[in-house]
């Protein structure tokens, strides 16, 4: 229990640090977006209107510490202000609109890579040196060193443009209304094939190799020999004795990968013009939409922290040595 | 040096990766000698297919893709190596200090390392690049270098802690060797493979990240690199008019470099750790996990006592 509390405390501090960093970042940059927005249009706003606008978007003048406390309060009440680009929508509206799409991409692709990758890894380790292992294991290394940009551009060009098999943009056919109809869901799935495949390729190699190498390390252990000596079936030794223990470090891999997947999802969403968090962040960056950028960074940090915390919890559950502490 | 060469020769993967890397370095060094054109000068009609005259075709602006690739290699390799060096240096210094000195030093460094690890990196880099505005390759190398040291620091720390408990370090301490001597002569050589792996992994990460930043249009579009080539190709809708050579050239350049560096890394792992030679694989990944496992067990022990 103390272990859990300690981790929780650490994540709280980490979030606090990230939030502070998030506060400092746009303030290091010259000018504020409101001034930039209106000076670029050549408008001369009266100073009162300018101040009113600044207040609306959360760029209050005043001593830095007052700004900081106002900012912290807004973070902890999750009141992130208004988007400059989509005014009068609030940052929360903008984020809510896109977060589900990213969760969809990241979630499905993680589950697929995790299950396929670990199954293939277990199989490759059990029959190491066989055809499956000699082909797939080096291949997964190659896949691991491929950046998401290249994979997604390759898919977009081959299946989207040249062969014209799959749609090249957006999350569903905009002629259909979002509803629980077969037509709509089929369209969503069709649009998700390429982004999800890209993300699976980015992740799957890591799982495969991790579990394969763990398995191989474990297979020499005494308890494996013992299980065999007891006359248990091969399948049982492989899954219940070998794989079960080899899976443990995958929990860490899972939490570690979330940062990579978020990055990969960002670029994939941009290439396929998918309306997720990554694309929203890109739009916000190019439009200097500071409130949305800040909200994005916060929500992504929060996702990383949550995943890491969940991994810690899973560890406590899976590894009895930590539970006693 | 000759010892490294014989080792490389014995390991097929490493030597293959090394050869590819050397070809890239050669291209980067002799960029001006092996090209005839200026990479940003119009030298032919737009969107010419690959031919003898223009080996990799031309862009929308009538620029020679081969020349762009060669000059892009120079930028990408330079950025990759310099940021890789910064990451390696920071990671090693912080990791060894934390692992060897322990106590308060360790607590402070480890705290910041852990914070840096849970901040989403690519989004942060994109925001930084955007705020700095049309980031030049130097800027990109610096921001990547100074934000990506955490993994290296963590792995080096765990390995240093493991080494510090070994007898040869303890006997060196008892023999009254100075701390600096222990750090530089006893510890550093034994960390060489981890530091090398850190460097190679960081170069790969930097090249990929730089390409990503520039592809999104957050770099300086006037400099020539693989990322800006992709950006320009995307911007002039090369894909939709069928100018595949414009997209394919930088993509393959990045992919092949990625494979080369990955092979080199596995090779180094196999060479430095004889136990691993029986099976190949993504060692660095495993070692990172081993490092985390080790830390977890340490925390568990602390909790017990």
Q: Can you give the pLDDT at residue B83?
A: 94
Chain A residues in contact with B263 by the CB 8 A cut-off are 141
Q: Note whether B190 contacts A: Cβ–Cβ < 8 A.
A: no
Q: Can you give the pLDDT at residue A322?
A: 65
Answer yes or no: do B252 and B226 share one domain: yes
- Digit-by-digit pLDDT tens for chain A (325 residues) are 777 888 888 888 888 888 888 888 777 766 666 666 665 555 566 677 767 766 666 666 667 777 778 778 877 777 777 777 777 778 788 888 888 888 888 989 989 998 999 889 888 888 877 788 878 877 887 788 888 888 888 888 888 777 877 777 777 777 777 777 777 777 878 888 889 999 999 888 888 888 887 888 777 778 888 888 888 888 888 888 888 777 777 877 777 778 888 888 888 999 888 888 888 888 888 887 888 888 888 888 888 888 888 888 887 777 766 666 5
Chain B residues in contact with A150 by the CB 8 A cut-off are 251, 254-255
Answer yes or no: do B293 and B161 share one domain: no
> Do the Cβ atoms of A157 and B127 come within 8 Å?
no
> Do the Cβ atoms of A216 and B279 come within 8 Å?
yes
- Find, in chain A, the residue whose alpha carbon is nearest to that of B110: A10
What are B118-148's pLDDT values in tens digits? Answer: 888 888 888 888 888 778 888 899 999 998 8
Which pLDDT band holds residue B89 (cuts at 50, 70, 90)?
very high
Looking at per-residue pLDDT, the higher value among B158 and A175 belongs to: B158
Answer yes or no: do B175 and B230 share one domain: yes
> Do the Cβ atoms of A206 and B292 come within 8 Å?
no
What are A91-128's pLDDT values in tens digits? Answer: 788 888 888 888 888 989 989 998 999 889 888 888 87
Distance from CA of A292 to the nearest CA of B (A): 11
Answer yes or no: do B247 and B289 share one domain: no
Asked if residue B101 lies in contact with residue B112, where contact means CB atoms within 8 angstroms, the answer is no
- Find, in chain A, the residue whose alpha carbon is nearest to that of B289: A249
> Do the Cβ atoms of A297 and B208 come within 8 Å?
no
Q: Note whether B247 contacts A: Cβ–Cβ < 8 A.
A: yes
> For the ranges A265-269, B5-9, B104-108, B199-203, which has the lowest average pLDDT?
B5-9
Interface test with B, best of A25, A31, A145 (most B CBs within 10 A): A145
- Find, in chain A, the residue whose alpha carbon is nearest to that of B201: A145
Q: Note whether B273 contacts A: Cβ–Cβ < 8 A.
A: no
Answer yes or no: do B63 and B205 share one domain: yes
Give percent above pLDDT 90 in chain A: 2
Q: Can you give the pLDDT at residue B277?
A: 45
Interface test with A, best of B285, B295, B304, B305 (most A CBs within 10 A): B285
Interface test with A, best of B241, B281, B295, B305 (most A CBs within 10 A): B281
CA-to-CA separations, B66 to A110, A264, B46, B228, B235, in angstroms, rounded: 38, 28, 14, 14, 19
Q: Which residue in B119, B212, B281 is closest to A18 by CB distance?
A: B119
Asked if residue A239 lies in contact with residue A261, where contact means CB atoms within 8 angstroms, the answer is no
Q: Can you give the pLDDT at residue B279?
A: 41
Chain A residues in contact with B303 by the CB 8 A cut-off are 2-3, 325
Answer yes or no: do B108 and B186 share one domain: yes
Looking at per-residue pLDDT, the higher value among B214 and B240 belongs to: B214
Interface test with A, best of B113, B120, B263 (most A CBs within 10 A): B120
What are A117-158's pLDDT values in tens digits? Answer: 988 988 888 887 778 887 887 788 778 888 888 888 888 888
Q: Note whether B275 contacts A: Cβ–Cβ < 8 A.
A: no
Q: Can you give the pLDDT at residue A33?
A: 61
Chain A residues in contact with B261 by the CB 8 A cut-off are 145
Which pLDDT band holds residue B301 (cuts at 50, 70, 90)?
low
Chain A residues in contact with B212 by the CB 8 A cut-off are 147-149, 263, 267
Which one, of A141, A91, A153, lies nearest residue A117 by Cα? A141
Instruction: Give the Cβ contact number of residue B34 at 10 Å.
Output: 12
Answer yes or no: do B300 and B240 share one domain: no
Instruction: Give the Cβ contact number of residue B13 at 10 Å.
Output: 21
Q: Can you give the pLDDT at residue A211?
A: 84
Q: Which residue in B122, B128, B247 is closest to A266 by CB distance?
A: B122
Q: Can you give the pLDDT at residue A135?
A: 81
Which pLDDT band holds residue B278 (cuts at 50, 70, 90)?
very low
> Do the Cβ atoms of A249 and B126 come within 8 Å?
no
Q: Can you give the pLDDT at residue A27?
A: 74
What are B34-73's pLDDT values in tens digits? Answer: 777 777 777 767 777 777 766 677 777 767 778 888 888 9
Q: Which residue in A212, A259, A285 is closest to B281 by CB distance?
A: A212
Sign of the dihedral defined by the CA atoms of residues B108, B112, B113, B118, in that order = positive
Q: Can you give the pLDDT at residue B297?
A: 65
> Do the Cβ atoms of B286 and A281 come within 8 Å?
no
CA-to-CA separations, A181 to A98, A172, A229, B23, B167, in angstroms, rounded: 21, 13, 55, 55, 69
Task: Say which CATH topology domain A98-324 has.
Answer: MetI-like fold (1.10.3720)
Q: Can you give the pLDDT at residue A62?
A: 66
Q: Can you give the pLDDT at residue A76?
A: 79
Q: What is the DSSP letter of A164?
A: -
> Do the Cβ atoms of B131 and A212 come within 8 Å?
no
Please give, one letter per residue, the 3-state secondary structure of chain B. CHHHHHHHHHCHHHHHHHHHHHHHHHHHHCCCCCCCCCCCCCCCCCCCCCCCCCCCCECCCCCEHHHHHHHHHHHHHHHHHHHHHHHHHHHHHHHHHHHHHCHHHHHHHHHHHHHHHCCCHHHHHHHHHHHHCCECHHHHHHHHHHHCCHHHHHHHHHHHHHHHCCHHHHHHHHCCCCHHHHHHHHHHHHCHHHHHHHHHHHHHHHHHHHHHHHHCCCECCCCCCHHHHHHHHHHCCCCCCCCHHHHHHHHHHHHHHHHHHHHHHHHHHHHHCHHHHHCCCCHHHHHHHHHHHHHHHHHHHHHHC
> Do the Cβ atoms of B120 and A212 come within 8 Å?
no
Q: Note whether B107 contacts A: Cβ–Cβ < 8 A.
A: no
> Do the Cβ atoms of A267 and B292 come within 8 Å?
no
Answer yes or no: do B22 and B101 share one domain: yes
Range of the domain at B159: 2-272
Answer yes or no: do B153 and B103 share one domain: yes
Answer yes or no: do B79 and B169 share one domain: yes
Domain spans in chain A, listed from the N-terminal domain onward: 2-76, 98-324
CATH number at residue B109: 1.10.3720.10
Helix (H, G, I), strand (E, B) or coil at A176: coil
Number of domains present in the structure of chain B? 2
Answer yes or no: do B265 and B284 share one domain: no
Answer yes or no: do B110 and B76 share one domain: yes
Chain A residues in contact with B80 by the CB 8 A cut-off are none
Q: Can you give the pLDDT at residue B78?
A: 93
Which pLDDT band holds residue B87 (cuts at 50, 70, 90)?
very high
């Amino acid at each position: 229990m103390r272990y859990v509390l300690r981790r929780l405390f650490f994540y709280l501090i980490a979030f606090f640090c990230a939030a502070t960093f998030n506060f400092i970042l746009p303030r290091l940059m010259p000018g504020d977006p409101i001034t930039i927005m209106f000076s670029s249009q050549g408008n001369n706003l009266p100073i009162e209107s300018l101040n009113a606008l600044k207040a609306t978007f959360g760029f209050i003048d005043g001593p830095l510490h007052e700004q900081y406390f106002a900012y912290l309060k807004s973070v902890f009440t999750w009141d992130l202000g208004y988007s400059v680009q989509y005014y009068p929508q609030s940052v929360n509206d903008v984020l809510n609109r896109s977060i589900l799409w990213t969760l969809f991409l990241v979630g499905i692709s993680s589950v697929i890579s995790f299950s396929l990758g670990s199954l293939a890894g277990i199989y490759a380790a059990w029959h190491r040196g066989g055809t499956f292992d000699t082909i797939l294991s080096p291949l997964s290394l190659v896949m691991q060193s491929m950046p998401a940009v290249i994979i997604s551009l390759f898919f977009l060009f081959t299946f989207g443009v040249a062969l014209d098999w799959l749609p090249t943009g957006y999350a569903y056919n905009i002629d259909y209304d979002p509803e629980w109809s077969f037509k709509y869901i089929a369209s969503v799935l069709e649009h998700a094939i390429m982004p999800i495949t890209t993300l699976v390729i980015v992740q799957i190699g890591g799982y495969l190799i991790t579990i394969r190498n763990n398995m191989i390390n474990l297979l020499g252990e005494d308890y494996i020999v013992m299980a065999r000596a007891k006359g248990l079936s091969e399948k049982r030794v492989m899954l219940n004795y070998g794989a079960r223990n080899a899976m443990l470090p995958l929990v860490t891999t899972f939490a570690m990968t979330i940062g990579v997947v978020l990055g990969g999802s960002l670029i994939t969403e941009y290439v396929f013009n998918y309306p997720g968090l990554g694309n929203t962040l890109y739009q916000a960056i190019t439009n200097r939409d500071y409130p949305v950028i800040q909200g994005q960074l916060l929500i992504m940090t929060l996702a990383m922290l949550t995943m890491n915390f969940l991994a810690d919890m899973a560890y406590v559950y899976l590894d009895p040595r930590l539970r006693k502490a | 040096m000759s010892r490294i060469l014989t080792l490389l020769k014995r390991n097929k993967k490493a030597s293959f990766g090394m050869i590819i890397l050397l070809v890239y370095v050669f291209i980067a060094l002799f960029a001006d000698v092996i090209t005839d054109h200026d990479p940003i000068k119009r030298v032919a009609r737009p969107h010419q297919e690959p031919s003898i005259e223009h080996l990799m075709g031309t862009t929308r602006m009538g620029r020679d893709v081969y020349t762009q690739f060669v000059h892009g290699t120079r930028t990408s390799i330079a950025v990759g190596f310099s940021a890789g060096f910064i990451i390696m240096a920071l990671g090693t210094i912080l990791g060894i200090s934390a692992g060897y000195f322990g106590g308060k030093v360790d607590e402070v460094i480890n705290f910041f390392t852990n914070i840096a690890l849970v901040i989403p990196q690519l989004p942060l880099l994109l925001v930084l690049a955007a705020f700095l505005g049309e980031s030049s390759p130097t800027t990109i190398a610096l921001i990547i270098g100074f934000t990506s040291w955490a993994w290296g620091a963590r792995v080096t720390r765990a390995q240093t802690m493991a080494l510090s408990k070994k007898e040869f370090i303890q006997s060196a301490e008892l023999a009254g060797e100075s701390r600096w001597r222990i750090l530089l002569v006893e510890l550093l050589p034994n960390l060489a493979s981890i530091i090398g792996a850190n460097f190679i992994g960081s170069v790969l990460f930097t090249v990929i990240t730089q390409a990503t930043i520039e592809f999104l249009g957050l770099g300086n579009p006037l400099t020539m690199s693989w990322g800006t080539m992709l950006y320009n190709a995307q911007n002039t809708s090369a894909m939709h008019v069928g100018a595949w050579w414009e997209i394919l050239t930088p993509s393959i350049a990045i992919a092949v470099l990625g494979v080369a560096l990955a092979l080199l890394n596995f090779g180094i792992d196999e060479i430095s750790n004889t136990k691993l030679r029986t099976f190949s694989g993504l060692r660095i990944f495993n070692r990172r996990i081993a490092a985390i496992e080790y830390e977890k067990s340490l925390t568990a022990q602390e909790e017990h006592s």
